[in-house]
Amino acid sequence: MPLHEVLIPLFDGVQPLDVAGPHEVFAGATEVLEHRDCGPGYRVSLVAAQPGPVRTPSGMQLVADGPLPESGQIGTLLVPGGRGPLELAADDPFVHWLRRAAPRADRVVSVCTGSFVLAAAGLLDGLRATTHWHYAARLADAHPAVDVRPDAIYLRQGRIWTAAGVTAGIDLALALVEADHGVELAQQVARHLVVFLRRPGGQSQFAGPVWTPPARRPGVREAQDLIHADPTADLRVPVLAARVGMSERHFSREFTRALGCPPGDYVEQVRVDAARRLLESEPVLVSVAAARAGFGSAETMRRAFLRRLGVPPDHYRRHFAVR
């Protein structure tokens, strides 16, 4: 396999881990391939509108090797994230450059909010894509032609790949190495970096509890208050509807219209958030957390965690409990 060129464009405000993480994965893979005498691996180039140092939000500076190239084949074009991409318009010079460069790349990938640049360039229209969980709703609102999947660590749609926030760039780069050279090499690089080759669950487990603003309709808002006040109460639709003086059908319709999800889904999310707080802060049994969060059993809570977070409660506690 010939040397694979990886091009990473930089810009003011770029997130340094979006660059350094994938860079180290490709460098590690190259070192192993050269040691095995298996031919060349990857050559990573950092470029920018103006060559030289580029400042990141933390004050660290990354150095661009050269200008944004206007010709030549590109193996992997990797667009990192940061605060800058959030504000880029479709007529921004960087977006124009990406539109011109993308056809010359074997694959175009983004890390974190780099997906906003791909979306502004029209590269994600009609595709599934992901981004940092905190900005997923914003991406969906700004680019309705993109099918945003907020829980995915990374997604592949043909030659277009998108990854979640920050360290997910490592997951993405490992997946690229696996696609190029097989799972054994990717696993060796992952072990050296002390990371999972495929981390369990999605990025929802890293997101904080979702705050939903109070509904304007009094009956729905009253139901919200009842749910948050005591997640262990009987919160079935007939009970809630009766408590707020509405018919079941009318209550379900108004609740879903006001909050964007059915009452049962909302109750489950509130209970999952309550259980997360317990598992993070108190050394309780999973069964105890399930009872105190309003789940009928530990198994019911386990299924809810898998639906909402992609991991079971005991896994969540091992990784997020405050010791």
Residue 310 φ/ψ, nearest 5 degrees: 85, 0
Q: CA–CA distance from 193 to each of 22, 153, 276, 296 (Å)?
A: 11, 18, 29, 41
From CA 147, how far away is CA 273, in angstroms rounded?
26
Please provide the average confidence, as pLDDT, over all residues in the chain: 91
Q: 223, 237 in Cβ contact below 8 A?
A: no
User: What single letter denotes the amino acid at residue 97?
Assistant: W
Alpha helix positions (H), the chain: 16-35, 93-101, 114-120, 136-142, 168-181, 183-193, 218-229, 237-243, 248-259, 263-281, 286-293, 298-308, 313-320
**Percentage of the residues of the chain whose pLDDT score is greater than 90:** 71
94-122 pLDDT tens trace = 999 999 999 999 999 999 999 999 999 99
Which residues are catalytic, by number?
A: 112
DSSP 182: -
pTM for the model: 0.72
In order of start, what are the domains of the chain with their CATH numbers?
Answer: 4-204 (3.40.50.880), 218-320 (1.10.10.60)
Q: Which two tokens stand for residue 234?
A: 């009987």
Candidate from 35-39, 192-196, 228-232, 240-244 with smallest mean pLDDT: 35-39
Q: 50, 67 in Cβ contact below 8 A?
A: yes
- Residue 231 CB: number of other CB atoms within 10 A? 20
How confident is residue 83, by pLDDT bands cut at 50, 70 and 90?
Answer: confident
225-251 pLDDT tens trace = 899 889 999 999 999 999 999 999 999
How big is the CA angle at 222 (ends 217 and 223), to the nearest 5 degrees?
A: 100
How confident is residue 196, by pLDDT bands cut at 50, 70 and 90?
Answer: confident
Cβ within 8 Å of residue 122, ≥6 positions away: 90, 99
pLDDT score of 208 more than 70:
no
